[in-house]
Amino acid sequence: MKNLLSISDLTLDDLTAILDRAESFAEVSRREIKKVPTLRGKTVVTLFYESSTRTSSSFELAAKRLSADVMSVKAGGSSVEKGESLRDTVETLSAYGPAAIVIRHPNAGAAGMLTQWVDASVVNAGDGMHQHPSQALLDLFTLRTRIGSIDGLKIWIVGDVLHSRVARSNIEAFQMMGAEVTVAGPPTLIPREIEKLGCKVEFSLERMEEADVVYLLRMQSERMEGNFIPSVREYARLFQINEQRLGPRQLVMHPGPVNRGVEIASEIVDSDRSLISDQVESGLAVRMAILYELLAGRPVEGGEGPSDPLPTIGAPA
């Protein structure tokens, strides 16, 4: 695997390999010394054209924990503001010889375009409404860690599915692992023909009690043109997940950032049915695994593979 652009590029074996590898890195994160030398001498660039807290910080920390050199570039404050194009920006950064470029961009397909311009591995950290594969992988890891198996789970994805790259990645990823996926929300926020992806569609939460996991989506106003709901209050009245709607055995997930009091009641965010903090924690181990699979997992031509991929820095050889 050279690039990570979309869940649909991955086989079930690829998914499982990344999740298994992430388990090793979660163990590393529990050690006193949390750093391993795997990517020593390699450079990872993170290039964000949209705001981010979780994805940008966890990719940066993941690369540092693997001992890579890291350059973090945000479009705001860079020469992008002087009119430099995406291609010129990427070619400029490529002069430093990065092994990987992690990019978030508002346009669908931006990460894919990079693969034509650079030798580095490209990781899609979110491209418009298209894909957010590392989010889907960390969500699988979170569920696998909490529940054991995803096979046969009923997962409802609720909210602004129309503008959500997370929904597109997660519908595919959950189904690949054997889950039955339903998307639910107001008709204006459910894409036409989404059932062609294999999921079911509901326009109310009346049947939500069948769900084992309720995966909530934020209203993505930054990608909305026009009004899709009568008001936030009306949306919350019909679709907010709160104590009245969530059963005692049902788990809640959310990619973040959450809007407390809109798609989710504050007491649910902080309840023991919420996996939201677990998702953030999983992000580090899974993004370490992604960088490992792209940059270190491939056998070195003419050389031997690493005998122990996860020795602690400073540990005896």
Can you give the binding site for ligand CP, defined by CB under 6 A?
Answer: 52-56, 126, 135, 255-257
Cβ closest to ligand CP, residue 60 vs residue 293: 60
**In sequence order, what E strands does 195-315 have?**
200-202, 213-216, 251-253
Q: How many Cα atoms within 13 Å fall on the side-chain side of residue 138? A: 31
CB 155 to ligand CP: min, Å: 17
Place of tokens 């699979």: 293
| Residue among 300, 288, 297, 294 nearest 4 (CA) | 294
Cβ closest to ligand CP, residue 135 vs residue 240: 135
CB 164 to ligand CP: min, Å: 10
CB 126 to ligand CP: min, Å: 6
Whole-Å CA distances, 286 to 18, 155, 239, 279: 7, 21, 30, 10
Cβ closest to ligand CP, residue 253 vs residue 296: 253
Token readout for 58 is 């966890």
β-pairing, 100-105 with 121-127? parallel
CB 82 to ligand CP: min, Å: 25
CB 288 to ligand CP: min, Å: 16
CB 165 to ligand CP: min, Å: 9
Which residues 6+ apart lie within 8 Å of 6 measured at CB?
124, 130, 131, 133, 169
The helix or strand, by DSSP H or E, that contains position 88, with its residue range, turns out to be helix 86-94
Cβ closest to ligand CP, residue 137 vs residue 310: 137
Place of tokens 């959310």: 254
Cβ closest to ligand CP, residue 186 vs residue 256: 256
Cβ closest to ligand CP, residue 21 vs residue 54: 54
Cβ closest to ligand CP, residue 48 vs residue 292: 48
Cβ closest to ligand CP, residue 201 vs residue 224: 224
DSSP 193: T
DSSP 206: T
CB 256 to ligand CP: min, Å: 5
| Residue among 292, 315, 251 nearest 123 (CA) | 292
Q: How many Cα atoms within 13 Å fall on the side-chain side of residue 126? A: 23
CB 206 to ligand CP: min, Å: 28
Give CA–CA dist 51/102, Å, rounded.
14
